[in-house]
């Protein structure tokens, strides 16, 4: 059974550039196994942060990308049919609870509320996971911790976490890093010189002001890294910005013009 968990260990230090006191706060939260919520827009470093923390704490990390079709069984487990009959297979949440991993539920709000409530007994003093279908009550391993990500921009009244769920977590706010730090990250991740990375960050800064004025979401750090990667692979800068920054987020001709204008200011 040991192999089940060893595949989730992170052997190599992930590159993570701290932006504030998040590492120290998370260390303290983990020491009391406080369930944590990482809040912030997509592509701003939440996943990289939890990968880094799992490596630093030397704990396995099990990540689940949540979606609206996900059921409680996808998290907890299900009976499978095989040649010998039926066999129970633990889901990712159960594996994490049993073997002491950090379980990261990415974009948990995408999951239906009846799916989300299965995490409740794991997030209070009980730290248990009842497997209704087998009758087993799994007591969480002392190392187990639950972490969720949450994008405050996407929520509607219909789709939000219940208050009773939210209140079970401590929350760390993430936003796009300050320009100098974001420049450092983009340059590190792509190998483009700081000067080019700085221009990409400046374009993003302009584009982020369009959020709510025609754009649903700003240009993320992840997108800047895509643009940098294209430039590093000899795609001309303006073309790289079109492909990686403008085209993915808007089809509106005026918005594309506005983004092209921002690009032309710098390249």
Q: Which of 33, 222, 239, 256 binds ligand ADP (CB under 6 A)?
A: 222
| Location of structure tokens 């196994």 | 33
Beta bridge partners of 106: 65
For 32, list phi and psi in degrees, rounded to 5. Answer: -110, 10
The rounded distance, in Å, linking the Cα atoms of 219 and 204 is: 6
Both tokens of 62, joined, read 């099990």
Please tell me whether residue 19 binds ligand ADP under the rule CB under 6 A.
Answer: yes
Tell me whether residue 94 or residue 187 sits nearer to ligand ADP (CB atom): 187
Please tell me whether residue 42 binds ligand ADP under the rule CB under 6 A.
Answer: yes
Q: Which of 17, 120, 175, 208 binds ligand ADP (CB under 6 A)?
A: 17
For 195, list phi and psi in degrees, rounded to 5. Answer: -60, -45
Q: How far is the CB of 142 from ligand ADP (least distance, A)?
A: 27
The rounded distance, in Å, linking the Cα atoms of 29 and 211 is: 33
Please tell me whether residue 185 binds ligand ADP under the rule CB under 6 A.
Answer: yes
Q: Which of 35, 43, 60, 91 binds ligand ADP (CB under 6 A)?
A: 43
Cα pseudo-dihedral 217, 219, 221, 224, rounded to 10: 160
Tell me whether residue 49 or residue 99 sits nearer to ligand ADP (CB atom): 49
Please tell me whether residue 192 binds ligand ADP under the rule CB under 6 A.
Answer: no
Q: How far is the CB of 157 from ligand ADP (least distance, A)?
A: 24
Q: How far is the CB of 168 from ligand ADP (least distance, A)?
A: 21
Q: What per-residue string of b and e applies to 88-102 under the rule 16 or more CB within 10 Å gives b? A: eebbbbbbbbbbbbb
Look up residue 13 and give its DSSP letter. P
Please tell me whether residue 208 binds ligand ADP under the rule CB under 6 A.
Answer: no
Binding site for ligand ADP (CB under 6 A): 15-17, 19, 40, 42-48, 177, 185, 189, 221-222, 225
């Amino acid at each position: 059974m040991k192999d089940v968990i060893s595949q989730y260990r992170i052997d190599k230090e992930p590159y993570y550039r701290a932006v504030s006191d998040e590492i120290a706060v998370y260390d303290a939260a983990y020491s009391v196994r406080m369930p944590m919520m990482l809040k912030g827009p997509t592509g701003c470093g939440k996943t990289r942060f939890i990968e880094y923390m799992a490596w630093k704490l030397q704990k396995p990390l099990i990540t689940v990308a949540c979606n609206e079709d996900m059921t409680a069984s996808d998290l907890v487990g299900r009976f499978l049919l095989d040649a010998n009959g039926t066999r129970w297979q633990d889901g990712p949440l159960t594996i994490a609870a049993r073997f002491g991993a950090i379980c990261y539920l990415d974009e948990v709000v995408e999951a239906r509320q009846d799916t989300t409530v299965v995490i409740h007994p794991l997030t209070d003093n009980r730290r248990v996971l009842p497997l209704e279908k087998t009758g087993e009550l799994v007591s969480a391993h002392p190392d187990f911790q639950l972490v969720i990500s949450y994008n405050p921009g996407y929520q509607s009244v219909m789709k939000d976490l219940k208050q009773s769920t939210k209140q079970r977590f401590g929350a760390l706010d993430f936003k796009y890093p300050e320009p100098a730090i974001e420049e450092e990250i983009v340059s590190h991740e792509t190998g483009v010189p700081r000067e080019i990375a700085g221009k990409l960050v400046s374009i993003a800064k302009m584009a982020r002001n369009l959020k709510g004025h025609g754009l649903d979401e700003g240009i993320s750090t992840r997108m800047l890294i895509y643009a940098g990667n294209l430039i590093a692979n000899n795609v001309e800068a303006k073309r790289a910005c079109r492909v990686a920054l403008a085209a993915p987020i808007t089809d509106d001709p005026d918005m594309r013009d506005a983004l092209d204008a921002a690009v032309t200011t710098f390249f």
